[in-house]
Amino acid sequence: MMIVPPLLFLATAWLSTVVATDAVQSCPKISCAQLKAPNVPGAQVISINGTERWNYTVPATPPFLLNPIFGLNICEVDVVLTHPNAQDQVHVKVWLPLQKWNGRFQANGGSGYAAGTFDLTLGPSVQGGYSSASTDAGVTVNPLSPGAWALRPDGSVNLDDLTNFAYRSVHDMAIVGKKITEQFYGAKPRYSYWNGCSTGGRQGMAAAQRYPNLFDGILVGAPAINWATYVVAEQWPQVVMAEEETFPSPCELKAFTDAAIAECDELDGIEDGVISNPDICHFNPYRLVGSKINCDGAKIIITESVARVVVKMLQGPFGPSGLSLWYGLTVGAPLDTLANTTVVNGKRVGLPFFVNDAWIRYYLAKDSNYNISAIDYTKLGQLFSQSAAEYDDIIGTDNPDLSRLHSAGGKLLMWHGLSDQLIFPKGSIQYRTRVERLMGGSAKVDEFFRLFLAPGVDHCAGGTTTGAVPSDPLKALVTWVEEKQSPDTLPAEIVHSCSGAKMGRILCPYPQIAQYVGGDKNSANSFKCI
């Protein structure tokens, strides 16, 4: 079964209903055509073009944008810039509401190997009243592969483009967006925000660590914090299947996920198809050995070798010495994206996820034709070390020292689905723990950085999400920044896949979890943080 990659690697832009509550200069001071090239430190603007668009429509583009956005009246500004000696051309697109600007600026993140998705995130942002920006970082907007820009003609890695993708474009986009906003309205944005998930979450963390004065509030979902590390760890399920010479079908893998949920669902006091706290779920995959399941009309018996594959996927990658390299998949999470397979000539074989596949080929092997299926346990450990050594300084965003962000008064709101099958949530938990150790403990860190975990929620709320998805985390961030009201909970909803019925829930700041305390099981009021 081939899984459509973008479905599980979303660049979620959360549309907030928040509007300015005091007087805001919402009318343009100059026309689009009068806008001048902004000064961008470290870069040179090549061109700028502004165009008014009235009653503009952003069409639905599932899974990124599920519903079309109609009736936008905007000034669309296209800025192209370059960096000295880089031979790059970076496109920054800024949308400015022609009416009812809310006084805020919002920069939007990307997805996969794309630093931005332009209209698909700009549309919701402008609909919410923000001036907004998105960028291609000079590396195209193809989220599926860096093949067009990763390597130079001589086969070496294009470090200029990688630097743009990793962090430099975040700085340039924010500077361009805020200066264009100020020109157009004759006033600086009162507040500036970052909004992104996955790659967009990683970009937000780059802003928090490298450019702590750019944004008043940073919203990051499922952040790819440890890119150089976790991307190689994503290859682990494929290596396990090859080494064990066992390639379970998606149906078999789902049986293990379903069994784990059935066993641990009610540990939180309520049966809702969600494991609220995977740490206390002691599911043993070997218990399924010998059981029969129905896969597309055929009866299949779960074998010990299949159970062993699942056990190792949950354990996570380890090196030749037996030491753990990184985290594994969370119990109860879907398994079939990283352990994806396909049938070739009647034989089931592995089919790696596009992100780890491309990273290993282009950045580690530096060969687009590299035989990734030949990677064994020893080789994966070598690739793991190589990736961290060569690229963590460029694309890593795991520096726990957020003192400059704290001093600048910035707020960081992070959320991560506990059933994320692409970016392992324990990486976010580890990061939060490291920040606490460095910066004075949980209470101190809570003043400016909060992590919310969403049980049963897949990557960026895509895929097979069954848990409660945060309803409007951007609104919570805006309230935190502007009204000094820290988010003690995040409102969330479970939407029934068939009926569309909604169940209210709350998400709690780590390390608290939501506990059912009695009453209506569909109401958020029946839960409290413990």
How high is the pLDDT of residue 296?
A: 84
Could you tell me if residue 504 is inside a domain? no
Task: For residue range 467-515, list pLDDT tens digits in order.
Answer: 999 999 999 999 999 999 999 999 999 987 777 788 999 999 999 999 9
Residue 63 shares a structural domain with residue 160: yes
Residue 378's SS3 state is helix
Q: What is the DSSP letter of 155?
A: S
Where is the domain boundary, 488, 509, 524? 488
Catalytic residue (choose from 111, 134, 145, 198)? 198
In a domain, 495, yes or no: no
| Position 28 in a domain | yes
Which of 391, 410, 436 is where one domain is finished?
391
pTM of the entire structure?
0.95
Q: Could you tell me if 380 and 239 are in contact, meaning their C-beta atoms sit under 8 angstroms apart?
A: yes
In degrees and rounded to multiples of 5, residue 304 shows phi and psi of -65, -35
Q: Do 211 and 157 share a domain, yes or no?
A: yes
Residue 189 domain-assigned (yes or no): yes
**Residues in contact with 329: Cβ distance below 8 Å, sequence separation at least 6, in sequence order:** 237, 313, 314, 316, 335, 338, 421, 424
What pLDDT, on the 0 to 100 scale, is given for residue 6?
36
- The whole-number pLDDT of residue 27 equals 83
- Would 517 be classed as within a structural domain? no
Has 169 been annotated as catalytic? no
Q: Residue 185: inside a domain, yes or no?
A: yes
Predicted local distance difference test score (pLDDT) of residue 63: 74
Residue 298 CA, distance from chain mean position: 37
Q: Which two tokens stand for residue 108?
A: 């939007």
In this structure, is residue 296 part of a structural domain? yes
- Give pLDDT, residue 12: 46
Ranges under pLDDT 70 in the chain: 1-26
198 is catalytic: yes
pLDDT of residue 512: 96
- The residue range of the domain holding 462 is 5-227+394-488
Same domain as 220, residue 237? no
What's the sign of the alpha-carbon dihedral 265, 271, 273, 275? Answer: negative
- For the question of residue 459 being annotated catalytic, the response is yes
Concatenated DSSP letters for 424-476? -HHHHHHHHHHHHHHHT-HHHHHTTEEEEEETT--GGG-TT--SPEES-HHHH
Task: Please report the pLDDT score of residue 43 as a whole number.
Answer: 98
Residue with tokens 């055929």: 298
297 and 215 together in one domain: no
Residues 39 and 156 in one domain: yes
Instruction: Provide the number of structural domains found in the chain.
Output: 2
- Are 423 and 456 within one domain? yes
Nearby residues of 240 by Cβ (< 8 Å), 6 or more positions away: 309, 312, 313, 339
Q: Are residues 223 and 312 in the same domain?
A: no
Characterize 92-119 residue by residue with b for buried, 16 or more Cβ atoms within 10 angstroms of its Cβ, and e for exposed: bbbbbbbeebbbbbbbbbbbbbbbbbbb
Set 336, 416, 459, 526: catalytic member = 459
* Amino acid 496: pLDDT: 78
**Active-site annotation holder among 136, 216, 272, 420:** 420
pLDDT at 15: 54
> What was the pLDDT predicted at 197?
97
Q: Does residue 241 sit in the same domain as residue 113?
A: no
In-domain check, residue 512: no
Same domain, 48 and 193: yes
HSE of 266, CA atoms in CB hemisphere, 13 A: 3
> Is residue 149 located within the same domain as residue 251?
no
Q: Which of 391, 412, 429 is the last residue of a domain?
A: 391
- Please give the pLDDT value at position 22: 43
Task: Tell me the one-letter amino acid at 476.
Answer: A
One-letter identity of residue 439: M
Residues 479 and 369 in one domain: no
Antiparallel, parallel or unpaired: β 341-344 and 292-295: unpaired
Residue 165 sits in a domain whose CATH number is 3.40.50.1820
Does residue 113 sit in the same domain as residue 249?
Answer: no
Q: Read off the pLDDT of residues 313-364 as tens digits, 9 standing for 90 and up.
A: 999 999 878 889 999 999 999 999 999 999 999 999 999 999 999 999 999 9
